[in-house]
Structure 1
Amino acid sequence: MRLTSSAAGLFPIAPTPFTADGAIDHGSVETLIAAYLAAGATGVTVLGIMGEAPKLEPDEALDLTGRFIDGMPGLPVIVGVSAPGFAAMRSLARAVMDRGAAGVMIAPPPALRTDDQIVGYYAQAVEAVGADVPFVIQDYPLTLTVQMTPKVIRRIVEDNPSCAMLKHEDWPGLEKISTLRGFQAEGSMRPISILTGNGGLFLDFEMERGADGAMTGYAFPEMLADVVRLQAEGRRDEAHDLFDAHLPLLRYEQQQGVGLAVRKYVMMRRGFIASAAQRKPGAALSARAKAEVDYLLARLAAKDPRAAV
């Protein structure tokens, strides 16, 4: 299966489950896959920023990718292959594509500043991984510090037929989605899939601006899938009601530095993974922070019974 511009729905960014001693927890990979399938995932993304990819050995990264490909047959698996140099990017990209991945995600390095530098970087990245490999542009200026305007994204899309998707994580970014869909409507940019990130924090309105779905991590992936589905069905108020019920926990999970710790803690409480451990270096939640998350879960359970853990 190859990634196409028609991709839509929920592509969770999968965390990497670890045991307390830092080994990959293969049993939890299986339970996590089962949870994503039950949540209605239409694909998955591995080795993303929240997947602790830089902490993995190359053979671990390929093995983890293979487990998701085998565990989610018929669904596209996207693999983050961003690297400081093109040799490492090429090696991982070709390996995961040979293993059965649907495409790769490429983030721009922080050193890029001008529009021409950004466009040129993606041209070189495509040359490195191969023009036959479908790829996702990762637009995440809050973390990567690279500012991509809609016109730059259009140039990348038009210059590279293998570009199938934009992972949109600008903040604020609603107008960017509208501008890109405007380019598409006027015929100056071919259609691509737009999936959004930022922990789902703006998913309610991103869908209304023309996003095709979510590619992000949140401890309740079924909520993300439901909001995408409800908006697609035109059930706007129901989508916002469900989103609003989860917003306090979404906000808590968006804290810089401890967001992954919060997400893994809730996923552990829900039985998705056996341990909230991160491979070192990694943040840990204090007893007080865990109590606050438990409080938010209890309040959420009054509106969404899936939070009753």
Structure 2
Amino acid sequence: MGSPRYVLLAVVILIYLATVLANVTLMLLIFLDTSLHKPMYIFVFSLILNGLIGSTAVWPMVMNILLTNTPLISYEGCLIQAFFILVYGTCNYTMLTVMAYDRFVSIFKPLQYHTIMTPQKVKQLLFVANFSPTAAVLSLICLSSQLTLCRYKVRKIYCDNLAITSLSCDDRHTIQSRVSNLHGIINTIVFAALPMVLILLSYAKIILLSLKASENARKKTFETCSPHIIIFMNFSLVSLFSLFYNRFNPHLPGEANIIISINYLLIPPFLQPIIYGIKTQEIRQSFSRLRRKSVFCNI
């Protein structure tokens, strides 16, 4: 009976450690190489840091549960975990929106790019993309924490806001419950649906422009935008999958629970640094320079 549990534990440990190694490596590369101190890579740094926070909020606890076979978490721990998971999801979308804006400016206004994307503008975009969703999520979790619980079994391998509110004794028609639900809907629209529309519109315009450009210009556009598009599509697919999962959770078996959770919280943070490493020429060149320096230092 314990064998599948230990196999799953080994898989989660391997993917999580690989995720941490890949993300930390790319973050150090961007931090240490001054040639990567550009708006695009600063935004990449923030995106992968957010992914690392999201996966770390869940998987060490899951590994402990699989190891000890004691699926328990305190109420405070559940609220904290829900907070970081929601921050991960919302900040991912806002940061991807900022990155789409950066690519839009670089392609449509290349001569004005450095006057538009100034260091001050980059700081402002980073602040808005990270602070706004974090503040909104914090207020949502504070509202949920005021609900009275009469159930204590979460039907997932991690806590999120829907899991917490589903344990509430409060009727869904009470003012407190309505406010919490309305807050959650507004957050979804502002920090997920709206960013998704803006990102799609930005890249649609970029693709239409590239179709009218020369072959060399199309190739350059594809090289700079393809990593962002792949990351966006991957995260959007797993987010929609997770949304349907939240809707039909009571009817899904435990295996589906684990697979969907891995897709949402482990796979995107694992793939992001790999995709940027493979698809971005400047990162590949920076990594090659770093390797050559390491080789020479060891001689």
TM-score tier, shorter chain, comes to under 0.3
Higher strand fraction (1 or 2)? 1
Normalised TM-score (structure 1): 0.27
Normalised TM-score (structure 2): 0.27
Bigger radius of gyration: 2
Higher helix fraction (1 or 2)? 2
